[in-house]
Structure 1
Amino acid sequence: MNNNLSADTLQPIHSPVPQKFTLYPAIDIRGGQCVRLLKGDYHQETVYGSPLEMAAKWVEQGAEWLHVVDLDGAKAGEPRNQDLILDIARSHNVTVQVGGGIRSMAQVEMYLKGGIQRVILGTSAIKNPQFVYEALAAFGKRIVIGLDARDGYVATEGWLESSATKAEEVALRLVDQGAQTFIFTDISKDGTLSGPNVEATVRLARTSGAEVIASGGISSLDDLRTLEAQAEHGVAGAIIGKALYQGVFTLQEALQAVRGA
């Protein structure tokens, strides 16, 4: 495969239809607390209390998956809240995917052996692709690639740094190595309740042929319905953060909205 292909020139391809459109309540952990950041800015933080309590709340409301991010780990480049995250997975009857500072096979194995179903690799996709290739070869669909983009270009190190590589280009390289699922975040939308970047999410899914989970900006049940309507193009789910934490809608309402669709 020609890794020098420009994403701007790529022809869309049809993606397999996901078996189920899945909702992922987000639990972002910093300093042992559940927090939400605005556009990934560590200086614009709202604290919502215990991650364990929030996990219990979302499970009670019907969550089948939780999306957990170690913000301290993302910034430090190594896991920092792993004990708390593993405790979430052990304490609740829910499937967990986790990201944040995972940079080695030993760290991947620590999470997978500890009860985490899927590990999210983000920064490494740019800075250490060989590690990502090895993880994909060893663990297949249990490895999810997080592509967090600012103006279309992938950001790294907990969104503190920007790369010169477009999300679609990274996705094509990794699909060639066995990647099956991506999480796409438009950083400009994150924590803003301004609506997701549906166009960019669909473009990534169609370009890569992989399943893509949308993240950032979910502000209404209609946003979820709009994304679910793109399932035929490979949009496989949505991560919901601020809208749940601010009570814009409940997880029960969200689940009903997409199941009704």
Structure 2
Amino acid sequence: MLLIPAIDLKNGQCVRLRQGDFNDVTVFSDDPAEMARRWIGDGAERIHVVDLDGALKGAPVNLRAVEKIVQAAGDVPVQIGGGIRDEETVQRYLNIGVSYVILGTRVITAPHFLHDLCIEYPRHVIVGLDAKGDHVAVDGWSKLSHHTVVEIAQQCEHDGVEAIIYTDIGRDGMLEGFNAESTQALARAIKTPVIASGGIGSLDDIRKLKDLEGDGVVGAVIGRALYEGKFKLADAVKIVKS
């Protein structure tokens, strides 16, 4: 099982938001590449990066910071999301050594885009599904689509995505526990690997996560809990590896 530390980039800095609110920003480091080295030293086998500025602009903004993270990560895969709207952006990221690109809103607004990318770049495309209740939220969580999470996930599976990151946006950054029930239900509804995200705040959450491995949950993105020292990544890695 993968425990994937998150590095969210804003103005070249490593930050965290609460529930995606750009007005509720905490800066944790001016050196995102050093953060990547720290998490890898603690046992991370993948790094999750989000270009928050890129998500707002619809195009990469923190590309140089991403390059430095990839260089610092070495052989450890890096996945990136935020503002990926066209194939040119996908190619730019893959060219600098990113292993996986994460698509969000465009999966809903332009489903052919996902289909074409999965054909062109097999094993490199992940979809992030941000949910409020049973439905997928889009456009920076400001709108709800008419599609349920399971409906979109099944279509993504048909297109051939590598994995799906499932986030309950009501729990993101709140450290109150991830939505184990909905994560499990999604994983059982598809064969594509599911990565949990949003709300992990304790080692008990890591134990709950491990219990879902048999359902197809292959890991979790972890953010604020690590940055605020709620638990040590090395201790969490020991739990999932035991």
Report the TM-score, using the length of structure 2 for normalisation: 0.96
Which residues of 2 match residues 1-261 of structure 1 at below 5 A?
A: 21-50=1-30, 51-93=32-74, 94-260=76-242
Q: 1:221 and 1:116 mapped to 2: Cα distance? A: 29
Q: How many angstroms does 1:217 deviate by?
A: 0.4
Q: Is the 8 A contact 1:35 1:46 kept in 2?
A: yes
Share of identical aligned residues, percent? Answer: 45
Deviations along 1:106-143, whole A, 9 cap, x unmatched?
11111112100111011111111111111111112210
Q: Is the 8 A contact 2:136 2:144 kept in 1?
A: yes
- Give the match's secondary structure for 1:232: helix
1:4 aligns with none
Q: 1:178 and 1:56 mapped to 2: Cα distance? A: 31
Q: Is the 8 A contact 2:34 2:72 kept in 1?
A: no
Q: 1:171 and 1:197 mapped to 2: Cα distance? A: 17
- Give the match's secondary structure for 2:130: strand
Paired residue type of 1:182: I
Q: 1:209 and 1:249 mapped to 2: Cα distance? A: 31
Q: How many angstroms does 1:152 deviate by?
A: 2.2
Please list every run of 5 or more consecutive structure 1 residues that lacks an aligned counterpart in the other structure.
1-20
Q: 2:110 and 2:71 mapped to 1: Cα distance? A: 30
Paired residue type of 1:23: L
Report the TM-score, using the length of structure 1 for normalisation: 0.89
- Give the match's secondary structure for 1:84: helix
Number of residue pairs aligned between Structure 1 and Structure 2: 240
Deviations along 1:32-64, whole A, 9 cap, x unmatched?
111111111111111102212211211221212
- Give the match's secondary structure for 1:188: coil
Q: Which runs of structure 1 show a deviation greater than 4 angstroms over 4 or more consecutive aligned residues?
A: none
